[in-house]
Amino acid sequence: MEEQYETFVRRNFWKPGRLGAFKIHGITRRNLRRGIAPSEMLERLNSYLATTIFVAHNAKFDIAFLTGEANRAKTAIKLNGPLDTLKLSRALDPKRSLSHRLRDVTARYNVVVSRPHDALADALGTALVLPHLLRSHNITTAEQLATHFGA
């Protein structure tokens, strides 16, 4: 991994009562009020992703979240990929005898995720487990990856 970036995205709406993101992620309303505008986040993300492949664990979840933000901001999210480590992990276990949650996949490869459910920590864990998954599939080239996983 060459660089990393994290930011909170401003939220000006939420339902009364507890903020669900606090219980799981530790994100407070104050964090969200001080975040950058969704359109700015999407602009930065699109700029970064223009030259790289989007890698995520359970990419479908992340793509749905980003697409929702893009729709609200009346813009588009431009992704190369995705390369989904959840799919890579499941392909190694066709009988599904193992758990494929990120924390279990990283533990199998002795990758430590310092703060589970923290976006940056989960992204780092995903980045660190990816080479292990590729080696387990004997994938050493982009062509092999595209052949097996359509990436």
- Residue 84 φ then ψ, to 5°: -105, 115
d(CA 36, CA 44): 11
Mean per-residue pLDDT, 48-57: 90
**Tokens (6 digits) for 9:** 């995205």
- pLDDT tens per residue across span 109-118: 999 888 777 8
> Residue 82, preceding bond cis, omega within 30 degrees?
yes
**Tokens (6 digits) for 148:** 């097996």
pLDDT for residue 16: 57
3-state secondary structure (DSSP) of residue 111 = coil
Question: What value does the mean pLDDT of the chain take?
Answer: 86
Strands (E), 24-123: 55-56, 83-84
Q: How confident is the model at residue 150 (pLDDT cuts 50, 70, 90)?
A: low
Report the DSSP beta bridge partners of residue 9: 36
Select from 80, 38, 76 the least CA-distant residue to 55: 80
**Tokens (6 digits) for 49:** 């992703």
Mean per-residue pLDDT, 56-62: 94
Provide the percentage of residues in the chain whose pLDDT is more than 70: 88
pLDDT for residue 84: 94
- Residue 10, judged by CB atoms within 10 A of its CB (0-12, 13-18, 19+), counts as middle
Output the pTM of the full model: 0.83
Mean per-residue pLDDT, 72-92: 91
Structural domains of the chain ordered from first start: 37-149 (3.30.420.10)
